[in-house]
Structure 1
């Protein structure tokens, strides 16, 4: 009989705590600590400068009449 009232109370409290923590983490990600005029680079761009060798070589040509 007691668990009918106590268990939902603790379950609701646990869910609220988890939800509050998730909201706090989300807000921290949305508001980074940035000073005015400061530049932030999140990651270095991926530099894959490999040529596609399966296509072949490029050959200059002149049109002959």
Structure 2
């Protein structure tokens, strides 16, 4: 009698878990997706300061904008050697 009762309890727990999983799985997946979206937004979208966001709104689509000019410290290295122009011989 004890073995039959144990098997029935296990089956009841198994089928109950399956039913509850079908009910709560979509809610759990939505919650996990929302949290992942928030973390993604924090990592890749949250690093711009408000000034950059305002500048992006002012520019039209297709307009070329230079935010930062490159440094003009192009010094040659004496250890490398000199550049020699050459022509290919056929």
TM-score (norm. length: structure 1): 0.44
Larger Rg: 2
TM-score (norm. length: structure 2): 0.35
